[in-house]
């Protein structure tokens, strides 16, 4: 969870102002972009999880915001947008800044009627675009950590969580073209998560625990910030069995290494006798896993990730800039005598940048 104003401040009549700054190669091009609307959307399992969109007027105080030159603040030639939200407490008037992150301008559109729409993507878009010019193989003596750092594009800092354990990386395979896919493959085999923080750093983090420990509770009713939680459900890609396989080729004589992770309890328990939920199976493989323990860890982590997405609550709440992907939340709703609480992880966010943009939407994967 990002640092920011308290829930008490946000549930009142707090002031809310977005501050977007444009930089190019470290030089400030615009310290405050005059946006009229916008949203920051994040999706946990997207290749590039972050997407920042906003609208600005064609003219503001004599300045044109149509990016028709390579050095314009909204042009797509490497311009970075730093986004933050300033919240003013209604009584004390104390201002709290919450930094949302760094986003690279990807495209813009001028409707010729006075509005410019801008789309910015997260730092991993740079990695996605910078495909390998020729196939890459792991370096001699390389480890998971050293190869992750080596394959990252220049200029993006890498932070590796101290709880992760490094190990030598297998040698007999090739990364063909996709740089970002190679980084995700390293993360999946560790296993680990890739997340970009509000400073533009790419973090390699441990898998989420099986049981959430909420860092925030959203409550409806008086004094709460929870507005509504419409619900739906589907079996589509709601996996409850993951079969992990090693595709390592260091030794031609190596026996196939496989491991199965399955949900054994609850309504999504895997059953093979024709009763209950049945089986919805996903296969995962990696050339970077070589032992039964490594394959089992990859399969277990993948299963837990799939189960988080299998039961998603859509939550509309008062805008809160602190909430980010992978936060553990408690949702408390219903009448006092029939209150129901669910726990889960944030798998998607949709944060309004201005007051006029309405409520915040969160997708919360509740415990299966």
Shared domain for 180 and 292, answered yes or no, is no
Shared domain for 320 and 226, answered yes or no, is yes
Shared domain for 32 and 22, answered yes or no, is yes
Rg (CA), the chain: 23
Shared domain for 93 and 154, answered yes or no, is no
CATH number at residue 190: 3.55.50
Shared domain for 348 and 201, answered yes or no, is no
Phi, psi of 85, deg, nearest 5: -120, 130
**Overall number of domains in the chain:** 3
- Last residue of one domain, picked from the residues 190, 205, 220: 205
CATH number at residue 220: 2.30.300.10
* DSSP string covering 265-307: SSTT---SSS-TT---EEEEEETT--SHHHHHHHHHHHHHHHH
Confirm whether 345 is domain-assigned. yes
Give the contacts of 23 (CB within 8 A, at least 6 positions apart): 29, 79, 80, 82
pLDDT at 139: 93
- Check if the beta carbon of residue 259 is closer than 8 Å to that of residue 244: yes
Give the contacts of 287 (CB within 8 A, at least 6 positions apart): 170, 172, 173, 185, 246, 247, 248, 249
Shared domain for 136 and 279, answered yes or no, is no
Shared domain for 87 and 59, answered yes or no, is yes
Rounded distance between C-alpha atoms, residue 329 and residue 340, angstroms:
14
Tell me what percent of the residues of the chain surpass a pLDDT of 70: 95
Each residue's pLDDT tens digit, 271-303: 988 888 999 999 999 989 989 999 999 999 999
Each residue's pLDDT tens digit, 82-136: 999 999 998 888 999 999 999 999 999 999 889 999 999 999 999 999 999 999 9
Q: Are strands 37-43 and 95-110 parallel, antiparallel or unpaired?
A: unpaired
Shared domain for 101 and 152, answered yes or no, is no
180: domain range?
A: 131-205
Statement: residue 71 has pLDDT above 50: yes
Statement: residue 255 has pLDDT above 80: no
For the chain, the straight-line distance linking the first and the last C-alpha, in angstroms and rounded, comes to 23
Statement: residue 223 has pLDDT above 70: no
Shared domain for 193 and 179, answered yes or no, is yes
From edge to edge, which strands make up the β-sheet containing 281-286?
Answer: 258-262, 241-246, 281-286
Each residue's pLDDT tens digit, 2-31: 999 988 888 778 899 999 999 999 999 999
Confirm whether 78 is domain-assigned. yes
Rounded to an integer, what is the distance from CA 335 to the centroid of its chain?
Answer: 33
Confirm whether 2 is domain-assigned. no
Shared domain for 61 and 159, answered yes or no, is no
Shared domain for 292 and 315, answered yes or no, is no
Rounded to an integer, what is the distance from CA 194 to the centroid of its chain?
Answer: 8
Statement: residue 142 has pLDDT above 80: yes
- Last residue of one domain, picked from the residues 270, 292, 310: 310
Confirm whether 145 is domain-assigned. yes
> Which of 1-15, 29-43, 309-323 shows the highest mean pLDDT?
29-43
Confirm whether 1 is domain-assigned. no
């Amino acid at each position: 969870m990002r640092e920011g104003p308290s829930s008490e401040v946000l549930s009142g009549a707090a002031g809310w102002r977005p501050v977007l700054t444009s930089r190019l190669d470290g030089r400030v091009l615009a310290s405050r972009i005059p946006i009229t609307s916008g949203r920051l959307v994040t999706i946990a399992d997207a290749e590039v999880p972050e997407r920042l969109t906003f609208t600005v007027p064609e003219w503001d105080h004599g300045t044109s915001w149509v990016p028709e030159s390579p050095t314009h603040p909204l042009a797509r030639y490497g311009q970075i947008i730093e986004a933050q939200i300033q919240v003013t407490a209604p009584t004390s008037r104390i201002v709290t800044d919450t930094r949302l992150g760094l986003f690279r301008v990807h495209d813009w559109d001028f409707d010729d009627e006075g509005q410019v729409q801008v789309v910015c993507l997260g730092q991993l878009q740079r990695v996605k675009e910078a495909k390998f010019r020729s196939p890459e193989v792991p370096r001699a003596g390389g480890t998971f950590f050293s190869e992750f750092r080596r394959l990252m594009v220049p200029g993006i800092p890498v932070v590796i969580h101290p709880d992760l354990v490094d190990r030598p990386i297998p040698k007999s395979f090739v990364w063909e073209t996709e740089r970002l896919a190679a980084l995700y493959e390293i993360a999946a085999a560790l296993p680990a998560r890739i997340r970009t923080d509000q400073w533009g750093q790419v973090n390699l983090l441990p898998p989420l625990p099986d049981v959430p420990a909420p860092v925030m509770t959203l409550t409806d009713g008086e004094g709460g910030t929870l507005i509504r939680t419409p619900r739906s459900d589907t079996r589509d890609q709601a996996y409850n069995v993951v079969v992990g396989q090693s595709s390592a080729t260091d030794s031609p004589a190596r026996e196939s290494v496989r491991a199965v992770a399955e949900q054994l309890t609850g309504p999504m328990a895997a059953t093979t006798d024709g009763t209950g939920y049945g089986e919805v199976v996903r296969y995962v493989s990696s050339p970077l896993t070589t032992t039964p323990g490594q394959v089992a860890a990859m399969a277990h982590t993948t299963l837990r990730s799939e189960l988080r997405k299998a039961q998603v609550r859509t939550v509309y709440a008062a805008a809160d800039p602190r909430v980010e992907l992978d936060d553990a939340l408690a949702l408390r709703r219903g009448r006092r005598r029939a209150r129901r609480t669910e726990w889960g992880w944030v798998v998607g966010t949709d944060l309004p940048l201005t007051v006029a943009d309405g409520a915040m939407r969160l997708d919360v994967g509740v415990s299966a």
